[in-house]
Chains A and B, each alone.
Chain A
Amino acid sequence: SYDFTPLDSSAVYVLSSMARQRRASQS
């Protein structure tokens, strides 16, 4: 389900920026 609270959305934001950082550091 996609009934995300603002807190969930911010967790998604942190996780995706972590993954971006990880990709950037690998390339």
Chain B
Amino acid sequence: PPLQNNQPVEFNHAISYVNKIKNRFQGQPNIYKSFLEILHKYQKEQRNAKEAGGSYTPALTEQEVYAEVAQLFKNQEDLLSEFGQFLPDA
């Protein structure tokens, strides 16, 4: 989807965060890959819910996303707390 110019703060923050994760887990590509999978799962659930117009409850809540990422980033407190800045209702 096209990126919108009127949201540069969130976009720049997301770029720098993704870069940070990539660098941190350079030697552990599976961790980075799992993180991407969690994000995509979340996005898919959100999309399903949106398309169903309220008649579908996402199977993955923000709390569950946070818990999964916490498991993944267990010794990386800074990455986890920064992730919390992205999550709605974290």
On A, residues with C-beta under 8 Å from B are 1-2, 4, 7-8, 10-23, 25
Contact = CB atoms under 8 A, between A and B. Distances in A.
Interface string B14-32: 1101110010000000000
Contacts of A12: 11, 14-15, 18
Contact of A16 (B7, B40, B42): B7
15 contacts: A2-B15, A2-B19, A8-B36, A10-B39, A12-B11, A15-B13, A15-B17, A15-B86, A16-B10, A16-B11, A17-B43, A19-B85, A20-B7, A21-B88, A22-B89
The main secondary structure of chain A at its interface with chain B is: helix
Contacts of B89: 22, 25
Interface residues of B, number: 24
Contacts, number: 64
Question: Which of B17, B86, B90 has the most chain A CB atoms inside 10 A of its CB?
Answer: B86
B15 to A, nearest CB: 5
Contacts of B13: 15-16, 19
